[in-house]
């Protein structure tokens, strides 16, 4: 259960960091939107002051009074786009694109935008004349409005790139650790396996019980096979034509002799002569792992079956047990290295099985179906030709 707790802890930290990132992004979004609204109100006040100054200048007579303040107010509006329309419908724009001003329809298009954004400001002139001032948000305010969205997008892109870079680096590091561990394990197992082979010959000379010697020899052979499997991790193994039925029967017979009598194993095949390209040693490892996990899930009691379906280009191998089942949310998690529900173990069995099937045999392995307290079916899909 320790591996499960560690994995759950990692998942919680990932979720907390993700929530923190989203909180920061949303907080920035709300703050900037609040700032935009405040600036929009300030721009509106600025236009109203500008309109008031324009009205005052239009109604003032040159009697020597100081009009510099009003002139300054008008001159200081260099950011807010405005359009003035008199009673005759004549338009005059300010703070708009000077190059586009001469183009037909440009002022009309900008006027439509301004009407949608803000109501006009009416200026009364002498002799019943009126001027209407329309305005819209400044370019700076428009850019500031989109700024938090652009910022949030860039943050998410950065997090995404960083995540993939980190995952790729971690995956490469894990591969290197697995390869080094496998090579060292093969090296460490090689010497005692050779020594045990010699001791089997010595025992055969001194002990005349051929049944005991035969079983010891089988286990020594199995130890050599395991050593060979570990030595192949990290290098691309050679594939050759393999009779699938013989492979499955051999593995099931080996597991059957080492399991409880309360468990039943059954092999179902529609075609007994299915030949597909496999690495015999490594693929036996995959089936062994699935069968051992199934027996653990059944606690040594129940039914276990392997069903093989032969199609035109693919072969489906379904391993079904009557064990405790796997929750749907863990159907992908169980293939990740380090995940285990056992008190002892590294949580590498299904991860290595997935690597062998998908990377070395160009196939697929996944949980086809699982129901709590009723059982699980793992499916392996293999190509007939690679």
pLDDT per position in the chain (386 positions), as tens? 444 555 566 667 778 877 887 787 788 778 877 887 888 787 777 777 777 776 676 666 555 445 455 455 555 666 778 888 877 778 878 778 778 877 888 888 888 888 888 888 887 766 667 778 888 877 777 777 777 778 778 877 887 887 788 777 776 666 666 666 666 666 667 667 777 777 777 777 777 777 777 777 777 777 777 777 677 666 677 899 999 999 999 999 988 888 888 889 999 998 888 999 998 888 998 999 999 999 988 987 899 999 999 988 899 999 999 999 999 988 988 887 766 666 555 557 788 889 889 988 999 999 999 999 999 999 999 998 76
Half-sphere CA count of 372, side-chain side, radius 13 A? 4
Residue 267 region by backbone torsions, left for phi larger than 0, else alpha for psi between -120 and 50, else beta: beta
Q: What are the distances in angstroms from CA 328 to CA 4, 65, 286, 331, 332?
A: 15, 84, 22, 5, 9
Q: Are 284 and 251 in contact (CB under 8 A)?
A: yes
Max alpha carbon distance in the chain (Å)? Answer: 135
385 DSSP β-pair partners: none
pTM over 0.75: no
Q: Which secondary structure element, helix H or strand E, spans residue 296, and what is its range?
A: helix 280-298
């Amino acid at each position: 259960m320790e591996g499960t707790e560690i994995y759950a802890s990692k998942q919680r930290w990932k979720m907390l960091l993700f929530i923190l990132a989203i909180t920061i992004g949303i907080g920035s979004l709300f703050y900037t939107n609040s700032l935009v609204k405040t600036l929009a109100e300030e721009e509106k006040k600025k236009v109203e002051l500008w309109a008031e100054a324009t009205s005052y200048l239009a109604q003032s007579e040159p009697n020597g009074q100081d009009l510099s303040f009003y002139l300054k107010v008008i001159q200081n509006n260099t950011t807010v786009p405005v359009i003035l329309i008199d009673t005759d419908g004549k338009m005059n724009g300010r703070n708009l694109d000077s190059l586009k001003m001469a183009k037909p329809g440009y002022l009309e298009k900008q006027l439509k935008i301004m009407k949608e954004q803000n109501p006009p400001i009416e200026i009364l002139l002498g002799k019943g004349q009126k001027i209407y001032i329309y305005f819209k948000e400044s370019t700076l305010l428009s850019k500031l409005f989109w700024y938090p969205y652009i910022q949030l997008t860039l943050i998410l892109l950065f997090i995404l790139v960083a995540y993939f870079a980190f995952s790729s680096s971690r995956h490469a590091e894990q591969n290197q650790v697995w390869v080094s561990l496998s090579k060292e394990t093969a090296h460490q197992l090689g010497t005692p396996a050779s020594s045990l082979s010699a001791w089997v010959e010595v025992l055969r000379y001194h002990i005349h019980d051929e049944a005991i010697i035969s079983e010891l020899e089988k286990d020594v052979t199995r130890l050599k096979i395991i050593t060979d499997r570990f030595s192949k991790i990290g290098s691309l193994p050679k594939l050759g034509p393999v009779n699938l039925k013989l492979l499955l029967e051999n593995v099931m017979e080996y597991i059957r002799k080492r399991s409880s009598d309360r468990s039943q194993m059954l092999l179902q095949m529609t075609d007994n002569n299915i030949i597909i390209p496999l690495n015999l040693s490594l693929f036996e490892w995959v089936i062994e792992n699935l069968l051992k996990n199934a027996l653990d899930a059944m606690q040594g009691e129940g039914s276990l079956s392997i069903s093989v379906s032969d199609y035109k280009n693919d072969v489906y191998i379904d391993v079904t047990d009557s064990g405790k089942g796997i929750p749907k949310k863990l159907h992908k998690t169980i293939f990740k290295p380090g995940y285990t529900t056992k008190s002892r173990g590294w949580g590498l069995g299904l991860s290595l099985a997935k690597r062998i099937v998908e990377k070395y045999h160009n196939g697929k392995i996944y949980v086809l179906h699982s129901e709590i307290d009723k059982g699980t079916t793992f499916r392996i899909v293999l190509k007939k030709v690679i």
